[in-house]
Amino acid sequence: MIKTEVRRNHPATIRSWCMYDWANSVYSLLITSTLFPVYFNRIAKNAAGGPEVDFFGWKVLSPALFSFSVSFSFLLAGLLSPILSAYADLSGFRKHFLLFFCLMGSLACSLLYFFTGDQLELGMSLFVMAALGYSSSIVFYNSFLPDIATPDQYERVSARGFALGYAGSVLLLILILSPLFVVPGAAASMDLICRLGFVITGIWWMGFGWHAVSGLPASSGGTGMFFSLTPVVKRLKSALQICLSTAGLPRFLSGFFFMNMGVQTIMYLAAIFGEAELKLSSEKLIVTILILQLVAILGAWFFARVSLRLQPLTTLLFACLIWSAICVAAYFVRTEVQFYAVAAAVGLVMGGSQSLLRSTFTHYLPASEQGKSVLYGLYDLLEKFSIVLGTLVFGMLNQLSGSMRIPALVLVIFFLAGAWLFHRRNAS
């Protein structure tokens, strides 16, 4: 295949790339953070209305089951992403993989409509499939960033993508929940609203995702389809060597691992925390998440601007310290107002943290890796393992203590470890 030259900073291409954030972020908000946790909390109960449920013959607390399901889905995605990304580099099928996982995840979202109280195993299996589609597609999506933008534009374009994703997901959530505000008595049909929301989320992700992927540049190089693992293993070995030999990259990835462990755990379990510890209603939990998402738009822009003055690693260090303070505050939260304040703080730092981690990693990549996916696959492997470990630790501590406050406080350790590693990198 003839290698084609990709025009970077082209407005139409950047719009297409950012549009995929608009497309798939609805999964992150509606399935991960709002509709699915709300619906799960309402139906994942035993006959007496308690939180201990039967899952494939195992007795487990429903918040822990949610946490364990997240852990399993990302463990699976993390194991697959380096292999698939190496294959994509060698075959030239990067766009094909992006589209495949987009379609798989969006279809699983829509099928969650059939998740009912007596179908707990089916519902969590579809939840895992949707998470796998989302997380796997992100690997190939992120790898287009150095293809479409020059290094001086990484922070701006990355922040633009996250901001567009937050805005689109909030818009769709408001549209889905609009009956609650305009139809008297609609709250009694919350379960049906959630199930229809799953279908609409899948359609949104599939439609806008297809449009976004079609506007991205075609993969350059590649040999087409092949069935041998030998070149894939060689490609993985070379990518690992690049990671280990690139100055500063190993320490950055270590800091990223610990910071992401805390960030993602909070994002996935914030709504569950509000219901379990403060007994907030479904409507109040959704309002909380809306606050979080809207503030995150500002956070993505704010941290991109700050990083231009303080440098990305210094900005990430301060973000870790802010996250640590948030975890301590969460331990002492007792009222709704306090919970809303913590949620606003989470939103501000969440948008900036995710955007800045992605753009900072891209700065480390050598020019020879532009247009390639495998280093993003290794980055994704660390990201997924950090999610697995974070949610697993959280779930185990929740199961043992019966409270979500103690595991929330333990997350401080992860953020302080990340801050220390970013500081050491700055000092070296």
Q: Quick one: average pLDDT of 285-295?
A: 78
Domain holding 195: CATH number?
1.20.1250.20
For residue 363, what pLDDT band results from cuts at 50, 70 and 90? confident
The residue segments making up the domain with residue 227 are 11-427
For 198-260, list the strands marked E by DSSP: none
Residue 2: the pLDDT is 37
End-to-end CA distance of the chain: give it in Å, rounded.
43
Q: Would 96 be classed as within a structural domain?
A: yes
**Residue 427 confidence class, pLDDT cut points 50, 70, 90:** low
The answer to the question of residue 109 being in a domain is yes
Domain tally, the chain:
1
pLDDT at 108: 96
- Say if 5 falls within a structural domain: no
**Percent above pLDDT 90 for the chain:** 31
At 239-260, the pLDDT tens digits run: 899 988 888 899 999 999 999 9
pLDDT average, residue stretch 187-193: 80
- The pLDDT-based confidence of 3 (bands split at 50, 70, 90) is very low
Contact in structure between 204 and 107 (CB atoms under 8 Å): no
322/305: higher pLDDT? 322
Q: How confident is the model at residue 30 (pLDDT cuts 50, 70, 90)?
A: confident
| Residues contacting residue 258 through CB under 8 Å, at least 6 positions apart | 386, 414, 415, 417, 418, 421
What 3-state DSSP class applies to 46? Answer: coil
Looking at the domain assignment, is residue 233 inside a domain?
yes
Burial 182-213 (b: 16+ CB within 10 A, else e): eeeeeeeebeebbbebbebbbebbbebbeebb
Handedness of CA 333, 335, 341, 347 (dihedral sign): positive
Q: How far apart are CA 139 and CA 229, in angstroms?
A: 20
Tell me the pLDDT tens digit for each residue of 52-108.
Answer: 778 877 888 887 788 788 778 878 888 888 999 998 888 888 999 999 999 999 999
Number of other residues whose CB lies within 10 A of the CB of residue 254: 18
Nearest to 313 by CA among 214, 404, 419: 419
Q: pLDDT at residue 220 above 60?
A: yes
Q: Is 228 helix (H, G, I), strand (E, B) or coil?
A: coil
Asked whether residue 221 is domain-assigned, the answer is: yes
Which of 152, 200, 211, 203 shows the shortest CA–CA distance to 17? Answer: 211
Q: Return d(Cα 223, Cα 241) in angstroms, integer.
A: 23
Say if CB 155 and CB 312 are below 8 A apart.
Answer: yes
Residue 306's CB is within 10 A of a number of other CB atoms, namely 18
305-333 average pLDDT score:
89
Express each pLDDT in 398-426 by its tens digit.
888 888 888 888 899 999 999 999 887 65
Average pLDDT, the chain: 85
1 part of a folded domain: no
| Mean pLDDT value of segment 277-304 | 79
52 pairs with which residues across the strands? Answer: 61
Q: Does residue 6 sit within a domain?
A: no
Residue 119 has pLDDT above 60, yes or no: yes
Average of per-residue pLDDT across 305-313: 83
Q: What angle do CA 230, 232, 233 make, to 5 degrees?
A: 65
Residue 3 lies in a domain: no
- What pLDDT score was predicted for residue 4? 42
DSSP 69-134: HHHHHHHHHHHHHHHHHHHHHHHT-HHHHHHHHHHHHHHHHHHGGG--TT-HHHHHHHHHHHHHHH
Q: Please give the average per-residue pLDDT across 14-19, as a whole number.
A: 94
For residue 1, what pLDDT band results from cuts at 50, 70 and 90? very low
Residues of the chain above pLDDT 70, percent: 95
Signed CA dihedral, 281, 285, 286, 287: sign only:
positive
Rounded Cα distance, 111 and 107, in Å: 6
Which amino acid is residue 79, in one-letter code? L
The structure tokens 């089916």 sit at 122
